[in-house]
Amino acid sequence: MQRAVFNDGFKALYKTELGSIQACTKQISGELKVCSKVLKNEGNAPYVLYADNSKATVVLFHGLSDSPFFLRSIAEHLQRQGFTSIVGLTPGHGKFDADADMEDPHLKQRWLTHSQTLINLAKQLGEPLFIGGFSTGGAFATHYMLNNPDDVAGLLLFSGALQLADNAESMSKVWGIKWVAKWFDGEYQSQGPNPYKYPGVGLYSALVLMDVINDIRDLIDLKNQDNSALNVPIYAAHSASDKTTLIEGVEYLMENVSGEHSLFKVDESYELCHADLPISSIQIVAMKFNKSMVKEYEKCAIPEANPLHRNMLNMMMYFLNRHTS
């Protein structure tokens, strides 16, 4: 009964967001996936992977400009280990035409409302609830956790976007920069070498992300001023070589939230790029990335699998099992 109610709510959420939904051509055992003609392909669709005798539910959000595909290997591993995983599709993502969405003046509120709605739906499954995400998705989960610490059993961050590069942070402080950003972005491009990711991150959407990050910092400051006790265990995986979202942001969160935290830090010697952290070798093959459309000599232009992917998942499972037993 709980699962049926959740399934109906999950479908209704994306019917509202996408305008229409349709049956998917391919789903694995235990999977609920919501497809739509407005999506570039089914790999961009939101999905649920139900585990038999589920120990807990994990809600995950993907990053800016990418899609639920990027969290597929993590979600499938969770399912195999007895955890139901729910991977949402952030408004404005995965679509053939994303121009209006990615310039929406209400984009921040749409993003945060979506994450809150999906998490509230997940509560209906009646299990311990973990939330998290990759990059920007990690910021959404963190924002929710800081506002609702009693609702979650733990937070999972993969390349969590809690601090951006200095130039991005500085630009966000310029008056009127969002208006300039919309003009600079022009028509938002959705087609590129990766069928599961937009070819670039729009300046406007990056500035909206910066607004979310600033909200998170304000929430942390407010909790500290009020001496409010925050106790939520955090698991974070991050590359020390990440120049897009800096590891210092994640470390700052862990310093200011009490709990039994675990940090899986990929050493700089691996030179692991930001977007590659959640990617397995199987995903690289499935991605069918068109190398001819990029300049191969540019660092991080071509996706590569995380060489420590299995270790990262093993440490994640140790964390989850410790906090569900």
* Confidence band, pLDDT 50/70/90 cuts, at residue 13: very high
3-state secondary structure of 299: coil
Q: Which domains are assigned to the chain?
A: 2-322 (3.40.50.1820)
Does the reported pTM lie above 0.75? yes
E-state strands within 180-250: 234-239
**Burial class (CB within 10 angstroms; exposed 0-12, middle 13-18, buried 19+) of 259:** middle
- Collapse the DSSP code of 189 into the 3-class scheme (helix H, G, I; strand E, B; otherwise coil) and give the result: coil
Q: pLDDT per residue over 248-293, tens digit each?
A: 999 999 999 999 999 999 999 999 999 999 999 999 999 999 999 9
The tens digit of pLDDT for each residue in 161-172 reads 999 987 767 766
Longest dimension (CA), the chain: 54
C-alpha closest to that of 130 among 224, 183, 41, 58: 58
Segment 123-161, tens digit of pLDDT: 999 889 999 999 999 999 999 999 999 999 999 999 999
Residue 309 in this model has a pLDDT that exceeds 80:
yes
pLDDT digit string, tens, across residues 100-126: 888 889 999 999 999 999 999 999 998
Q: Who contacts 137 (Cβ-Cβ below 8 Å, separation ≥6)?
A: 60, 61, 62, 63, 71, 90
Per residue in 51-69, is it b (16+ CB within 10 Å) or e — as a string? Answer: beebbbbbbbbbbbbbbbb
Residue 183 has pLDDT above 70, yes or no: no
Would you state the pLDDT for residue 169?
Answer: 74
Give dist(CA 199, CA 227) in Å, integer: 43
Polymer length in residues for the chain? 325
Residue 84 near residue 56, CB atoms below 8 Å: yes
Which stretch of DSSP H or E encloses residue 183?
A: helix 177-185
Distance CA 310, CA 241 (A): 19
The residue with greater pLDDT, 118 or 205, is 118
Task: Share the mean pLDDT of the chain.
Answer: 93
For the cut 70, the answer to whether the pLDDT of residue 17 exceeds it is yes
